[in-house]
Amino acid sequence: MTGTAGRWSTGTGRTGLIKGIVCVALGLILFFLPVPAGVDPRGMHMLGIFIGTILALILQPLPTSAVAIIGLALAMATGSMSTKEAFSGLGSGSVWLIVAAYFIAQGFVKTGLGRRIAIWFLSKLGGSSLGTAYGLAVTDLILSPAMPSNTARLGGVLFPIITSIGKLQDSTPEGGDASRKRIGAYLCATANNVNAVTSAMFLTAMAGGPICMGLAAEQGITLDWVTWALGGIVPGLVALALLPRVVHAIFPPTLKDTPEARQNAIQEQRSMGRMSVQERIMGMTFLAMLVLWCLGSTLDMAAVTVAFLGVSILLVTHVIDWKDMAANKSAWQTLIFFGILIGMASQLNTLGVISWIGGFLAGGIEGMSWPVVLVLLTIFYFVLHYLFASELSQISALYTLFLTVAIAAGVPSLLAALMLGAASALMGAMTHYASGPAALIFGAGYLTTPEYFRIGAVCGVVMLATWLTVGLGWWHIIGLW
Tens digits of pLDDT across the chain (481 residues): 444 334 444 455 678 889 889 999 999 999 999 999 889 989 999 999 988 988 887 787 888 788 889 999 999 999 999 999 999 888 877 778 778 887 887 888 788 887 788 788 778 877 889 998 998 898 889 888 866 678 888 987 888 888 888 888 899 999 999 999 999 999 999 999 999 999 999 987 887 888 888 888 878 898 888 899 999 999 999 999 999 999 999 999 999 887 766 777 788 788 888 899 999 999 999 889 888 887 877 888 887 888 899 999 999 999 999 998 999 887 888 788 778 887 887 888 789 887 787 677 767 777 789 999 999 999 999 998 988 877 877 887 678 888 888 988 899 999 999 999 999 999 999 999 899 899 899 989 999 999 999 999 999 999 999 999 999 999 999 999 8
| pTM reported for the whole predicted model | 0.73
User: Is the same domain home to 262 and 147?
Assistant: yes
Coil, strand, or helix at residue 387? helix
User: Is the same domain home to 305 and 368?
Assistant: no
Question: Domain range spanning residue 237?
Answer: 93-215+224-329
CA distance 322 to 305: 19
In a domain, 1, yes or no: no
User: Is the same domain home to 411 and 453?
Assistant: yes
User: Is the same domain home to 98 and 194?
Assistant: yes
CA-nearest of 432, 337, 339, 352 to 46 is 352
In a domain, 230, yes or no: yes
User: Is the same domain home to 243 and 177?
Assistant: yes
Total of domains in the chain: 2
User: Is the same domain home to 185 and 310?
Assistant: yes
CB–CB of 339/425 below 8 Å? no
In a domain, 13, yes or no: no
Long-range contacts of 119-124 (CB under 8 A, 24+ apart): 119/168, 119/265, 119/268, 119/269, 119/272, 120/265, 120/269, 121/161, 121/165, 122/165, 122/168, 122/261, 122/262, 122/264, 122/265, 123/262, 123/265, 123/266, 123/269
